């Protein structure tokens, strides 16, 4: 999450906060090698090719379409960094833990 504040788009499997923060090709990319319902890491043969496809996509964007990559960096800041932060987390914690 801290990386988004610095404009770093994420590339990861859909778990943790990334399930909520991933907008494919807008705030970053999801590695989709794991079939729905499977445990993460349960299918290395699916994860490897999926990771390679995404890295190829990201590298192509970074080296050949720098303007588009910069837009994704801006969206990472505008959308993810503004929503996934400590202030929101603490506010939700206090409201849900003490006032619900």
59/65 Cα distance (integer angstroms)? 9
Note the pTM of the prediction, 2 decimals. Answer: 0.74
Quote the mean pLDDT of the chain. 85
95/89 Cα distance (integer angstroms)? 10
72/28 Cα distance (integer angstroms)? 7
pLDDT per residue as tens digits for the range 52-93? 999 999 999 999 999 999 999 999 999 888 888 788 889 988
Query: How far from 11 is each of 21, 56, 73, CA to CA, in Å?
Result: 11, 12, 12
In sequence order, the 6+-apart residues with CB closer than 8 A to the CB of 98 are none
Give CA angle at 2 (90, 21), nearest 5°: 75
Kindly provide the residue ranges of all beta strands, DSSP E only, lying in the chain, ordered along the sequence: 10-12, 28-30
């Amino acid at each position: 999450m801290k990386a988004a504040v610095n404009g770093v788009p994420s590339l990861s499997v859909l778990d943790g906060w990334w399930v909520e923060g991933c907008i494919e090709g807008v705030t970053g990319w999801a590695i989709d090698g794991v079939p729905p319902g499977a445990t993460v890491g349960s299918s290395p043969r699916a994860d490897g090719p999926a990771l390679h496809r995404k890295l190829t996509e990201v590298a192509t964007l970074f080296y050949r379409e720098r303007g588009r990559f910069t837009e994704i960096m801006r969206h990472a800041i505008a959308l993810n960094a503004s929503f996934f932060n400590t202030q929101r987390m603490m506010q939700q914690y206090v409201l849900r833990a003490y006032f619900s």
